Chain A
Amino acid sequence: MAMARLKFPIILFGAAQLLKRASHRHPDFNSRVQEHNLVAQIMARDEGIGRWFEFKNGIITSKAGLHAKPDIKLMFKNAKIGVALLTPPINWLDQINAQKDFLLTVDGPEYLTNWFAQTLMMSQSAGLKYGTKLRRGVTRYCNMTNGGPVFVYVKDGKILRLTPIDLAADDGASWTIEAKGQKLTPPRKTTLAPHGQNAKSIVYSPDRLLYPMKRVDFDPNGERNPQNRGKSGYERISWDAAIKLVTDEIKRQKREYGPGAITFSHGSHHTWGNIGYYLSALFRFANAVGMTRIHHNPDSWEGWYWGAVHHWGHTLRVGQSETYGTVEDCLQNCDMIVSWAADPESTSGSYGAQEGTTRRQWLKNQKLGIKVVHVDPYYNATAQFLPGKWFAPKPTTSVAMAMAIAYVWIKEDLYDKKYVETHTVGFDKWKTYLLGEDDGIAKTPEWQEKETGVPAKDVRALAREWGKKRVYLAPGGWGNGHGGACRNQTGIPWARVMVCLVAMQGLGKPGINMGNLQWGTPIDFNFYFPGYADGGMSGDLENTSMPVELYQRMPQLPTMNSNNQRIPRIFVPEAILDGKAEGYPWVGKSIEHQFPKFTYPAAGHSPVHMLYKYGGSILSTMNNTNRWVRMYQSPNLEFVVNQSIWFEGEAKFADVILPACTNFERTDISEWAGLGGYGHHGQQQLNHRVIVFQAPALKPQGESKSDFWIFNELCKPLGLANYFSEGCNEIDWVKRVYLASDMPKVMSWRKFLKRGYFVVPAEKEKLRAPVSFRWFFENRKKDVPEAQPLPSDYTEEYLRGLQTQSGKLEFECNSLKRFNDLERPPIVKYEPSWEGAHSGQLFERYPLQLLTPHSKYSFHTQGDGKDSFLLNIEDHRVKVDDYYYWIVRMNAEDAKARGIGKHDLVKVFNDRGAVICAALPTQRLPRGVAHGYESSAVYDPMGEPGKSVDRGGCLNLLTPERTQTKSTHSLAGANSLVQIEPWDGRTEHMSAAFAAMEKDNEIMQTLKEAHLVPAK
């Protein structure tokens, strides 16, 4: 103790010197210390010793001892603890424990204690050098987009260019796969997705929100005029005013309504980075405030989570398969890839840029002898790139095609009977169904032809070829699930039947697996760097995968939402408008977690009255989204705040707008395609693992701020700032992620900040991860590097068998036998879509099936609109009469029959709404099928929002919000019935059915008075 008594004052003296020196040397830090005048006391309570620091007009003075009237106090229980916590390097576990054990406490106004703590931290990072200096005054930084890493060339504070990274000789080595006499090595460079290369144009977009704003007719103390959301203009306010407005409202909501009144809504993606991400800073903030959770549906995995898991488990991958080693196995052993509703050339593996493209290009090498066939209603970009037979089933029907393939295999003895006997259960039940022995309908190729439109002879030929070859089945863009047909009305049976097909052929045998070279590269899986779903600084142990590893590696204060109320995301509008909603949970812990229903409102909770919206627009990404417009205009929502980078979509429906900056204007750290959580080891869609320090390349535009800064400021009036920030600044959190990872073993902090990136060397050949499911086929313990399923989910012995009750592939699912759901019978059956050719009158009125897959050039709403470069790509948007219209593709004959030519403006509509698009007649679609990407960033109603035609291209105004089945919380809207007509220029959408659905008397009245003919 005596020693500590001596050391404590010395350390505090050092801290004072550091503050003064930083203030003297670094102008930014000097500006910081000018922000407040105060006296801060650091002290040891037991010994009653310490040092005070006075900040006065930017001058720092400090003296040993206790000040008579300090404004704030930072107190250690005793000098020993003070010495331990203040001696560098910082031990974060000790810091956190000291706070939990009340060994370290603060006293004083929150805004000052937080300012002082962050200033102390800032004195250590002041003057850090970022980036690499090049000639001609150019500095090169690194950053990470959703579409890949970039070099950012900056001169005079302006971005000159963004490029992919050409790997240097001293960057980590690449891998080589030997297959059929060929040596295959990826190019030594990173690639970009189009939306990544587009990024400069959205940083400098005229649609950037440059300062906080308030809706002109919103008065928090008077008329709030919620009915005018989406219509009224905005006025600029100061950050101080904005922070006060929002925090006053948070307090009022809690005071007047109690727990549950506030909800937070965020998209499924955000600008990249492990700190400034929704699963990181936002979760920490929202948990600290408390909220009704909007429980997400498993977005792009629907059929896999609600369907496939019952056959093979994988709940912690949302029903997708493990993918390790499959690139090598596919290239070495496979004869044919069946690409089924899979378009990786368009969807880029979500975050994988064009990495898979470089590998799939090898398939053009005849010496590998790997054929590709494509099953997709749309002749997609992957089919364009990789020549092969194209099967074009009508949307939602390919389940029948798959069953006919299985039927041929049974009839012609073309499946692996031994494997089915030893590795599966329940096949006889399914066989009975396929042969029609129970329902009298044999699932023959002729039977499927009536549903799919694909000639029976072609299906038979495919079944025969498949049955004789070693085949990789590639459903969805990732080749193992995700996207594709799992998002439409028959997505659940589709994902289920995909698993059944590969089970019949012997999943895990050499050359027989799932994949399309998108996942499964032989990278190093042992080098740890957290993915975004590992939760960053969220402290959230329930809703991120933080407990798995990051929590131990990056100690932080845990956060926990104290409200128990949830809204199923698909039905947020109903929850607000009608006051009730029910759903089923997406929780990956076990198969059975999806079964218990939850309802809103929860007992004893307040209904939601305030919405905090963060990130991209849902108006174009959820379904039947005119519902959202109605929700926003409802008086039930008393307050809407929107934190957004651009003035687009839902930002135009807010009462207060908080302008956030892009990832190029803030500090962050991340790994390319490092997903973590449900996308464990997502880096295996890359050729090289790349970890990036996301340097701020320029100052935030206007008064926009980083998400971290915004949350931190909001926390001050709420007294939460020290809890939220733990006294750290963004750069400190970034460093904590760096320290938590394996990066310090390979590159120093300072070098990382300058060089900006690190390439993890490829794994040695003999240490590569084994091939997925080979262990299962060979009856060994699971040996791929994923710690899932959870130990208790094994039946016989840990690591033996699958997650299913039998431990085997289940054609007849035990879990569904237990759940007893008529819409999800234990064996997969074909049931036509409830919005398709069997929909009777609806199909007569709306005879076109509209496919709305993920977009090729933009990423959800990112990259689209905003006056971006992407507008210049004719397959993305096309300029007609001085406006950039969204494209709708339609079969050339269908277009001709309607008198529609190339780039004619057309009205795409149904009872839910109407969208004006530019038509693109094509042979890439069969008759009766249209195609337009979902996720336009522009919602541009030409009249009354929610009730007029939209010309922004939000095709999700037209898609059904109904869940795939009643007992699932599953989006089904990737397909809808519509009509397409030449646009008559009318801006109101006059549909009697629409008006009825809207329960909108005004529209009904207008219809009546004007004697207008309703649309069909």
Chain B
Amino acid sequence: MKKWNMIIDVAECTNCNLCTLAAMDEYVGNDWPGYSAPMPKHGHKWINILQKERGQIPMIDIAYVPTMCNHCDDAPCMKAAPKGAIKKRRDGIVIIDPAKAKGQKQLVEACPYGHIWWNEELQLPQAWTFDAHLIDQGWAKTRGDQSCPTGAMRAIKVEDDEMARIAHEQDLEVIKPELGSKPRVYYRNLWRYTKCFIGGSVAEDRNGTIDCVEGASVQLVKDGASIAVTTTDNYGDFKFDKLEENSGRYTVQIYAGGRSKVVETNLGASINLGEIRL
């Protein structure tokens, strides 16, 4: 049985918000009986883009992570929903029944991802339905997938085994895997959001002129052991990425032209060590 999954590539999301706007376009003012009641014009973010700025000027980057109902296979919300207010479809999609779920505000709290939204006017918990009403009319894509200019958001319908294989081969992750809720929304390059870096820029004084040092060898040492090595580019820049936040002390050792320099840092969030003069 093929089921729906979403694959999101964090490195390709530009925060254009076309997916969030497409969701508003589809659900605000539109009633899809059996699937969803209208979404309020403001206040709900059925697709919500998280963001993270890493580093300090001028070595920074920014990651955007579109999030939405994960359509979990072991959905915590279903356990909190009496009377079949939430159903899991055979194609993997989780639907909050817009009639049966009326008044069940506890469902908002039941979602560990914060993706059940309370509609005050209708007294209804709501979430993104994977555009099931369109899927059932034969649409091959969700609105967000269709509108995404970079292909950062792709809905695919495959067997679970196939999805597991894709996830493994492409290093996909889910959000909060430790909950065991088995989300059907997968992420590529999530480290851009969850991990951090140590970077810097190596320079030297050449007869009174400060210049960037290209090709310097830079080693990252933790607890006495070398954990990564890189070389500086033509701007003298180096960067060690995918490090854990708040992971303690690191030593950066720089070697170039017989000279060396050692810089210590205590890693909280991403850090740009700035200019390091040999």
Contacts and interface: CB of A to CB of B under 8 A. Distances in A.
A672 to B, nearest CB: 15
Contacts of B209: 456
B143 interface: yes
B176 interface: no
Nearest to B134: A161
Nearest to B53: A923
Interface string A516-529: 00000000000000
Interface size class for chain A?
35 or more
Contacts of B56: 923
Contacts of B30: 160-161
Given A923-B53, A923-B56, A457 B211 contact: yes
A164 B146 contact: yes
B14 interface: yes
Given A384-B61, A389-B235, A869 B21 contact: yes
A958 B12 CA distance: 36
Contact of B25 (A200, A354, A358, A879): A200
A857 B16 CA distance: 8
Nearest to B59: A390
A390 B30 CA distance: 44
A465 B60 contact: no
Interface string A154-184: 0000001111101000000000000000000
Interface string A172-201: 000000000000000101011010011011
A385 B234 contact: no
Classify the secondary structure of A's interface with B: mixed
Interface string A902-926: 0000000000000000000011111
Contacts of B275: 455
Contacts, number: 131
Given A161-B30, A354-B16, A924-B53, A460 B212 contact: yes
B109 interface: no
Interface size class for chain B?
35 or more
Contacts of A163: 22, 25, 143, 146-147
A443 B45 CA distance: 52
Contact of A197 (B12, B21, B211): B21
B118 to A, nearest CB: 16
Interface in B12-42: 12, 14-18, 20-22, 24-26, 28-30, 41-42
Contacts of B16: 194, 345, 354, 357
A819 interface: no
A192 B137 CA distance: 23
Contacts of B57: 379, 392, 891, 923-926
B23 to A, nearest CB: 9
Interface in A377-409: 379, 381, 384-385, 387, 389-392
Given A381-B15, A460-B211, A867-B41, A357 B149 contact: yes
A361 B150 contact: yes
Nearest to A198: B21
Given A354-B18, A357-B14, A461-B211, A869 B55 contact: no
A204 interface: yes
A457 B58 CA distance: 14
Interface string A963-994: 00000000000000000000000000000000
Given A194-B17, A197-B21, A923-B55, A379 B62 contact: yes
B237 interface: yes
Interface string A447-459: 0000000011110
B225 interface: no
A875 interface: yes
A192 B236 CA distance: 39
A872 interface: yes
Contact of A922 (B20, B45, B53, B234): B53
Interface of A: 135, 160-164, 166, 187, 189, 191-192, 194, 197-198, 200-201, 204, 345, 353-355, 357-358, 361, 379, 381, 384-385, 387, 389-392, 455-458, 460-462, 464-465, 857, 867, 869-873, 875, 879, 891, 922-926
23 contacts: A135-B137, A161-B30, A163-B143, A164-B147, A191-B147, A192-B18, A197-B25, A198-B21, A200-B29, A201-B41, A345-B16, A390-B60, A391-B58, A455-B210, A457-B212, A460-B211, A867-B41, A872-B45, A873-B20, A875-B15, A879-B42, A924-B62, A926-B58
Given A384-B14, A390-B60, A871-B42, 18 more contacts: A135-B137, A160-B30, A163-B146, A191-B149, A192-B18, A198-B21, A200-B25, A384-B62, A387-B61, A391-B58, A392-B58, A457-B203, A457-B211, A869-B28, A872-B24, A872-B42, A924-B53, A926-B57
